[in-house]
Structure 1
Amino acid sequence: MIRVRLLARDIIAGIDYHKRPLLAFHVYFSLLALFALSPASAWLLAALVELSGQSLVGNDDLVRFLVTPAGLFWLMVSATLISVLVFFQAAGMMLIAARDADDVFHTANNALWRVIKRFPILLKLAAMQVLAHLLLAAPLLALLAVLFQWLLGGYDIYYVINEHPTELYFFTPLAILLLSAILIGNGSLYVSWSLALPLVLLEGYAPRTALRKSWQLVKGARFKIARIVLLVALVVASLPLLLALGFESLGALLVYIIPGPAAVQVTVLGMLIGLYVVFAVLVSFLAISANSMLLLKIYFRCCGQQAGNFAELEPRTTGPLAWGIEAVLVVLALGQLVWVAQSFDEREQVTITAHRGASWDAPENSLAAIELAIQQGADYIELDVQQTADGELILIHDRDYLRVAGDRRSIWQVDYAEVREMDAGSWFSSQYAGERIPTLAEAVELIRGRAQLYLEVKTSPAMPNLVPDTVRELQRLDFVEETVMAALTPGVLEEVLQLEPDFRTALLVHTAIGVLASHSYDVLSLRDALVTPSQLRASRDGEYELHVWTINSPSEMHRFIDMGVDSIITDRPDVLKAVMKERAGLSSSERLLLRMRHWVW
């Protein structure tokens, strides 16, 4: 019989009793994962992508890749690697908190060694579970894809996101129903197999036998175990959020109440960051150890073994390990401070790239938006080029005219003469009623001598001549040196450079798998969530620029300037201009304080 209150008490007591060796193992594993397991996994996954004949799978090709045999195998391997990393750490903590066959406990060192010896078995167990989960979810995921294609496939995805067509309200409840079924089905399977890891670890079962045995042990108590697992998951998931919110509030309060000079505030915030790092390590330790102890305690109860604290003394090496762990935490905190300091770039200037013009205040890709962006101080005007049925190069983002002009036909199905008559401004505001969809040539003449062009080529099989025609048009307009050619796939950029080697090129990345640095381009343009200090260092080593999109809040603008990106792509060039002007008047110590503020919250 599993009683939630008693189980929670046992989990807390177990963590408290074994806290020092558990914490030691947590640090050991974190260092091992950081310096060995994670790099090895990244190399393996990149190698698997290359075996498919590609070195990078970008936004447009990602879904198509994942439904190929190579993509499915990549998905299987990546999920298995993630699972085995989770198993690895949970296994070590279970060994520490449980007796072995000789009725003794394991130190952190001993547990780490025993888990490494069992790595092949853990890998096999993880692979079997991942394959089963994928097979269980696949039919419902396929049905979800069919429903999406049936109801929303005729719309441009950007239209769906921004305009919410009627079909979306039919698709959403069906999608929720299917996703709920996937969650329930895979959740039930997870609970049924939740004891397989301790069975493999503590009783020596083979993975297949352990899965079968776990199913039998959990039978009849799945719902109760699921409730307990969900409750623990919610508690441990809330800890990092509460920690972040607490330190954000504390940081804001300290900056408000601590008087100048800035050096004093910098010192206090530095101490706060160090304290945050220590607490973050402790919170992650509590979350992982609680999940491991939960599985162990459920295993004890289902197998009829005695749970609770043990009478044996802890290993003699625990004392020295505790001192070592405390020293490691201090080093980690100091290292984090050094890392933060080094991640800041001293440069204050970034170029301002107006996303589809000043699209916050005017219709995107319009001459009005271009003119306003130039007036607001943009260095580059980012625009999207496509091709009409009769070959005219026009500026529009979506694959059809529905969102901007109310016409559902695809871009390549309509002649330019008809496009010229469309009202592409009323959708945004009555102030811009009658605004037309401009040609690339019109935009170039408006930009010439006032800014530079950042042109995304929106390729499609229905527009086979788009790339060569765009290159020829910019050559004719003598605007090659003033243009950055951007695309979502490396192949388009390679075609551009074959036609005109003097173009600067930018790879736009929303989501990708593979090695980004393995391609030749002048600019790597990433969405905000992908930009990290390591990406910045890679760009410096690779001698290409790093751009980030689409950033519209002043606090995020400050953060990416602090990080040292070369350009910020924004719908609000005037706001970015004001942020840069504000920063230009700060002293070096005030600038450091500003950076630390944006790192803390």
Structure 2
Amino acid sequence: MGLHAVLPAYRRALSDVLLFTALHLSVRLAVSVLMLPLAGVILGLALRWSGDPALTDQDIAGFVLSPLGALGALAVAGVLIVAAVLDLALMTAALRQPVTGLRPTLATVWRLVLPRLGAVFGVALRLVLRVALLALPFLALGAAVAVLTLRAHDINYYLTYWPPEFLLAAGAIGTLVLIMAGLLVCRLSGWALALHLRLIDGVPARDCFAQSEAHLGARRGAVIRRILGWLALRLALAAGVAALIGVFGSGAQALALPSLTGVVLAALLTLALWSLANAVLAAVSNGALAVLLDDLHRSVAPKVLAPQQDSAPGGAALVLTGLAIAAGVAGLGAVTVLGDLAGRLAAPQAVEVIAHRGAAAARPENTLAAVEKALEDHADWVEIDVQEIADGTVIVTHDSDFMKQAGVPLKVWNAMPEDLAQIDIGSWFDPAYAEARVPTLRDVLEVAKGRGQVLIELKYYGHDERLEERVAQIVEETGMADDVMIMSLKRAGVAKMRALRPDWPMGILAARAIGDLSALDAEFLAVNTGQVSGHLLRRAHAAGKQVYVWTVDDPRAMSRMISMGVDGLITNKPALARQVMKERAALSLAERILLWLSDRLRLESFDLVAEPSEA
């Protein structure tokens, strides 16, 4: 696997571990302080020109496929690739320079590479385009396979039960992915010297890929073997570091017991050592890759990396000052974030419990039994999904058909009340609920009236007629207008409801999003756990919006979300959420910090609650 070349490369990188670690950390500073914000600015400008402050889910794909969105995505991808290869570029420059001390060499290397960042960006843009052009046919074929084989039923049925057609589609798509990956590896191995040819030899960006392929020729196989060997060793070292840190962390916590403060300090020390070890490992691994590629380049096109007007007086001091300023900005940001986190950990948090599809972990989802259980568990809100059937009745169901819950392929928009009376939607969960039937929105509201509040998600599968109008009418007829909120993945649906009932609380549901969600016309945002960040929470709260997070069923994750400052937990386990909130309120600050660390570090030694069987 090319280990005969890989091991010397790692040894060479290890011999300059201080320099490579300093370069790696300086790159992380530049990326966090300059490049990621630059990518955000580019994306924000593209969205502003499109007339939309933020995009969610399917709208993102539509935007990226538009001319303006494609240009914005290309620019952002180029910046991110430059950020990704900046380590490699700096380390390559370091390999071409005599080491005269850590600070002088660090400054010299940055001064060599900075004037060439535009050249690196040009290579990055062309790389994105080449990879996209190669991948698009396979992605289109994969989409066609999915549409042709998985269009009969709702996707949740396929994901839950894995029927034969799903396995067939997965196999076909997997084969396409493997073929695409093989072609990408083949082409990327031929382009392995493109960056060096542009950075060192000054080859025009439009020619560096072709020249790289010409230089390497039949040596692509050797390149692939070396890269695979480098990657295998990188993964092995990462596993070893993780194991050692895990042993250290467990031992340190054991020695610190029974002092809770000592355990917290041990966990913090473990986190610090893990961060440092990962930084050093990344630096050494990236340095080894730089050595491998630099040796390859020297063998086909030996050339010295010449400075581009690098001898200006004070240039080194300017570079070091810039890095110091970046470090200061990053440090200030870290202190601000940690201070904000400490404040949130210490402060009591009032968080609403929102029962997802009722208490869906304890009862069949979106049934009256699940609604009853959610109310018994003292959920602040019962979240349900609503659609129209053929006669206009608004029912409570999530999928576009009844395959997942009952094995019935009937589409919701084709169903009649008499059809629904025959569909058992409870036995799939437990035979004890064989009598469960699809409830109407009116049924749920009447059960909840005087006992709780209802969060109604409008579901759209392209067959709605007057969903917003009918929902509003039913809510008012049942006297629940003051006890409901409306949300949807489809922003146009929320806008329609806003026009009908401007005073009702409305929310935007988002699995994925780009842009400024806080600028959307809504009283609250419902996002998945991967979307939650301190930045989003600060922007949303400053705009007077609440942030709910879904779907949170793990007690430590619940506590972490509370510590971050979310306003509501959308969970299948409302009883567990209530218990977590009660237990968390009784914890000391040290215990809350330890709980937060246990979730971040996946520690198993600290659990907030024992999960009740009926949660």
How does the TM-score come out when normalised to structure 2? 0.87
Q: 2:189, 2:223 within 8 Å by CA — same for their partners in 1?
A: yes
Q: What is the rounded CA distance, in whole Å, between the counterparts of 1:236 and 1:301 in structure 2?
A: 24
Q: What residue is the counterpart of 1:198 in the other structure?
A: 196
Q: 1:59, 1:489 within 8 Å by CA — same for their partners in 2?
A: no
Q: Secondary structure at the match of 2:481?
A: coil
Q: What is the rounded CA distance, in whole Å, between the counterparts of 2:261 and 2:333 in structure 1?
A: 21
Summarize the Cα distance change of 1:258–1:250 in structure 2 as closer, same or farther, 3 Å threshold.
Answer: same
Instruction: Give 1:212 deviation, angstroms.
Output: 1.8
Q: Please list the CA deviations of residues 212-263 of structure 1 after superposition, one character each: whole Å capped at 9, or x if unmatched.
A: 2210121111122112112323433555565455545543443344224433
Q: What is the rounded CA distance, in whole Å, between the counterparts of 1:395 and 1:203 in structure 2?
A: 65
Q: What residue is the counterpart of 2:487 in the other structure?
A: 486
Q: What residue is the counterpart of 1:145 in the other structure?
A: 143
Q: What is the rounded CA distance, in whole Å, between the counterparts of 2:246 and 2:355 in structure 1?
A: 31
Q: Please list the CA deviations of residues 410-464 of structure 1 after superposition, one character each: whole Å capped at 9, or x if unmatched.
A: 2111122322332211222111002010011110111122221111100233103
Q: What is the rounded CA distance, in whole Å, between the counterparts of 1:331 and 1:54 in structure 2?
A: 30
- Show the 5 A alignment for 1:286-305: 286-303=284-301
Instruction: Give 1:334 deviation, angstroms.
Output: 10
Q: 1:251, 1:600 within 8 Å by CA — same for their partners in 2?
A: no
Instruction: Give 1:547 deviation, angstroms.
Output: 1.4
- Show the 5 A alignment for 1:430-441: 430-441=431-442
Q: What is the rounded CA distance, in whole Å, between the counterparts of 1:238 and 1:545 in structure 2?
A: 44
Alignment match of 2:257 (pick from 245, 256, 259): 259
Q: Secondary structure at the match of 2:364?
A: coil
AA in 2 matched with 1:9: P
Q: Provide the aligned C-alpha RMSD in A.
A: 3.2
Instruction: Give 1:147 deviation, angstroms.
Output: 0.7
Summarize the Cα distance change of 1:171–1:444 in structure 2 as closer, same or farther, 3 Å threshold.
Answer: same
Q: Secondary structure at the match of 1:57?
A: strand
Q: What is the rounded CA distance, in whole Å, between the counterparts of 2:9 and 2:599 in structure 1?
A: 40
Q: 1:95, 1:106 within 8 Å by CA — same for their partners in 2?
A: no
AA in 2 matched with 1:398: D
Q: What is the rounded CA distance, in whole Å, between the counterparts of 1:3 and 1:254 in structure 2?
A: 39
Instruction: Give 1:53 deviation, angstroms.
Output: 4.3
Q: Please list the CA deviations of residues 564-597 of structure 1 after superposition, one character each: whole Å capped at 9, or x if unmatched.
A: 2211111111222222222233234433333343
- Show the 5 A alignment for 1:21-60: 21-60=19-58
Q: What residue is the counterpart of 1:409 in the other structure?
A: 410
Q: What is the rounded CA distance, in whole Å, between the counterparts of 1:288 and 1:366 in structure 2?
A: 54
Q: What is the rounded CA distance, in whole Å, between the counterparts of 2:496 and 2:281 in structure 1?
A: 50
Q: What is the rounded CA distance, in whole Å, between the counterparts of 1:352 and 1:386 in structure 2?
A: 24
Instruction: Give 1:507 deviation, angstroms.
Output: 1.4
Summarize the Cα distance change of 1:359–1:246 in structure 2 as closer, same or farther, 3 Å threshold.
Answer: farther
Q: What residue is the counterpart of 2:309 in the other structure?
A: none
AA in 2 matched with 1:176: G
Q: Which moved more, 1:583-592 or 1:34-43?
A: 583-592
Of all paired residues, the percent bearing the same amino acid is 25
Summarize the Cα distance change of 1:415–1:295 in structure 2 as closer, same or farther, 3 Å threshold.
Answer: same
Q: What residue is the counterpart of 1:464 in the other structure?
A: 465
Q: Please list the CA deviations of residues 466-517 of structure 1 after superposition, one character each: whole Å capped at 9, or x if unmatched.
A: 1222122212223222112111133322222221122112211111233222
| Residue 273 of structure 2 corresponds to residue 272 of structure 1 | no
Q: Secondary structure at the match of 1:264?
A: helix
- Show the 5 A alignment for 1:58-97: 58-97=56-95
Q: What residue is the counterpart of 1:313 in the other structure?
A: none
Q: What is the rounded CA distance, in whole Å, between the counterparts of 2:395 and 2:238 in structure 1?
A: 48
Summarize the Cα distance change of 1:201–1:48 in structure 2 as closer, same or farther, 3 Å threshold.
Answer: same
Summarize the Cα distance change of 1:237–1:585 in structure 2 as closer, same or farther, 3 Å threshold.
Answer: same
Q: What is the rounded CA distance, in whole Å, between the counterparts of 1:253 and 1:522 in structure 2?
A: 48
Q: Please list the CA deviations of residues 246-301 of structure 1 after superposition, one character each: whole Å capped at 9, or x if unmatched.
A: 54554344334422443333333333333333333323323433333332122223
Q: What is the rounded CA distance, in whole Å, between the counterparts of 2:379 and 2:294 in structure 1?
A: 59
The count of aligned residue pairs is 585
Q: Please list the CA deviations of residues 523-575 of structure 1 after superposition, one character each: whole Å capped at 9, or x if unmatched.
A: 21111122122222223322221211111122222222222221111111122
Q: What residue is the counterpart of 2:233 in the other structure?
A: 235
Q: 2:3, 2:226 within 8 Å by CA — same for their partners in 1?
A: yes
AA in 1 matched with 2:526: S
AA in 1 matched with 2:11: I
Q: Which moved more, 1:25-34 or 1:245-254?
A: 245-254
Q: What residue is the counterpart of 1:5 in the other structure?
A: 4
Summarize the Cα distance change of 1:467–1:290 in structure 2 as closer, same or farther, 3 Å threshold.
Answer: farther
Summarize the Cα distance change of 1:452–1:134 in structure 2 as closer, same or farther, 3 Å threshold.
Answer: same
Summarize the Cα distance change of 1:82–1:338 in structure 2 as closer, same or farther, 3 Å threshold.
Answer: closer
Q: What is the rounded CA distance, in whole Å, between the counterparts of 1:497 and 1:595 in structure 2?
A: 38
Q: What residue is the counterpart of 2:547 in the other structure?
A: 546
Q: 1:354, 1:373 within 8 Å by CA — same for their partners in 2?
A: yes
Q: Which moved more, 1:186-195 or 1:84-93?
A: 84-93
Q: What is the rounded CA distance, in whole Å, between the counterparts of 1:3 and 1:412 in structure 2?
A: 59
Q: What is the rounded CA distance, in whole Å, between the counterparts of 1:249 and 1:548 in structure 2?
A: 34
Q: 1:351, 1:568 within 8 Å by CA — same for their partners in 2?
A: yes
Instruction: Give 1:197 deviation, angstroms.
Output: 0.7
Q: 1:274, 1:333 within 8 Å by CA — same for their partners in 2?
A: no
Summarize the Cα distance change of 1:339–1:283 in structure 2 as closer, same or farther, 3 Å threshold.
Answer: farther
Q: What is the rounded CA distance, in whole Å, between the counterparts of 1:488 and 1:94 in structure 2?
A: 47
Q: 1:400, 1:408 within 8 Å by CA — same for their partners in 2?
A: yes
Q: What residue is the counterpart of 2:605 in the other structure?
A: none
Q: What is the rounded CA distance, in whole Å, between the counterparts of 1:591 and 1:547 in structure 2?
A: 21
Q: Secondary structure at the match of 1:382?
A: strand
Q: Which moved more, 1:293-302 or 1:71-80?
A: 71-80
Q: Secondary structure at the match of 1:459?
A: coil
Q: 1:353, 1:380 within 8 Å by CA — same for their partners in 2?
A: yes
AA in 1 matched with 2:229: L
Q: What residue is the counterpart of 2:609 in the other structure?
A: none
Summarize the Cα distance change of 1:329–1:46 in structure 2 as closer, same or farther, 3 Å threshold.
Answer: closer
AA in 1 matched with 2:298: F
Q: What residue is the counterpart of 2:308 in the other structure?
A: none
Q: Which moved more, 1:475-484 or 1:68-77?
A: 68-77
Q: What residue is the counterpart of 1:174 in the other structure?
A: 172
Q: Secondary structure at the match of 1:353?
A: strand
- Show the 5 A alignment for 1:375-414: 375-414=376-415
How does the TM-score come out when normalised to structure 1? 0.89
Q: Structure 1: where are the runs of 5+ without partners?
A: 307-316
Instruction: Give 1:353 deviation, angstroms.
Output: 1.0
Q: What is the rounded CA distance, in whole Å, between the counterparts of 1:372 and 1:547 in structure 2?
A: 21
Instruction: Give 1:195 deviation, angstroms.
Output: 0.4
Q: What is the rounded CA distance, in whole Å, between the counterparts of 1:505 and 1:243 in structure 2?
A: 48
Instruction: Give 1:146 deviation, angstroms.
Output: 0.6
